[in-house]
Amino acid sequence: MDHLLLNNHFPKPGEPEGEGATEIALLLGERIRSYTGGNSSLKDVTAADILSSIEFCLKAGRNLKPGTEVCRRASAGRNLREDFTVGLERVKKCYADTKKLYVKIATLKLPVPLDAYQDTLDHAMPDFFNSYDPDYFAQEIPCAIDYPLAFDDMSLQGIFYIRRYLETLELETEFCRCYPMEQVLDFLNGFQKKHGWEAMDAPLNLLGVLFEQQILSLLCGKECPDLWIEPFQIKVLNRDLSEKAPEDIHRMIARATAAMIRSLGLRNPGLEEYLKKYSAQLSCRLLEAAKHGDLSPMAVFLPRRPDPLPGGTE
């Protein structure tokens, strides 16, 4: 391992934090020998990754926020090695808890024809849990996640990112399950017809498209849950919004969001805040579309299903 790696990462003994830096250098040497089975020779890139893993665990041991610079002095009452050990234990516990959460989410997976969603739960997450190495590469995410969340926290790394991703996915799934699956599948079929067959292969966030469709439906005077919108209803909404001031449109969307939350019977404060955050984002896009007098690109048109005839046939 090139000594430049240590020189670039640590102060020299005698400089501020130099003694702590020496402790990390010793710990790095031990971790490398453990990783290689006693051989201290290792490519710089791998050594740098192990060093990053040490710093990741130190942050976990000190409960530091993502992006915080690692102070190379020990926490009060502990030395650096103790900080690292505590952090590594927290990482491993988080791994075990997150794996349980994944099993729960995978068991309740939505039966939707979204390739990115299915592939993420069927392949990417198993790849992560089979390949993740908390001992030497705790900061890494050894899988490719294609399904996008409405809001993703890219400041996190390693198992802490996966935990947050799955927690958010569980929140989004709770919202999507408020709709009868028949409605959801009909909506996705309409979305595919509008945007092309490849739309189901694209990274499409299900919460986002359902939320937007429902808000447009409510603004058209419909009920909730009801995702069916017809072209003439959007034309009427275009005319109505063209006569509204921007602040009035923002209030309309906020009221529609509150009505949707009540109608769906949502009782999860975290989900309510998540939807309100998305509502604020949608409000800006809807306002921009209203300026151009055409909301139709935002809507998926679905003709109302005929009522079933007596006897259960249509």
Closest alpha carbon to 132 in 162, 100, 101, 167: 162
The pTM of this model reads 0.86
Read off the pLDDT of each residue in 265-274 and give the average, rounded to a whole number: 94
Dihedral, CA atoms, 260, 266, 267, 271, nearest 10 degrees? Answer: -90
The residues spanned by each domain of the chain are 3-85, 180-305
How far lies 1's CA from each of 18, 37, 136, 137, 138, in Å?
A: 20, 15, 16, 17, 20
Q: Which residue has the higher pLDDT, 296 or 261?
A: 261
Give the model's pLDDT for residue 314.
42
pLDDT tens-place string over residues 271-314: 999 999 999 989 888 888 877 778 888 888 875 554 444 444 44
Which segment, 36-45, 157-166, 231-240, 303-312, is predicted with the most confidence on average? Answer: 157-166
Report whether the peptide linkage leading into residue 225 is cis, meaning its omega lies within 30 degrees of zero.
Answer: yes
Q: Report pLDDT for 65.
A: 54
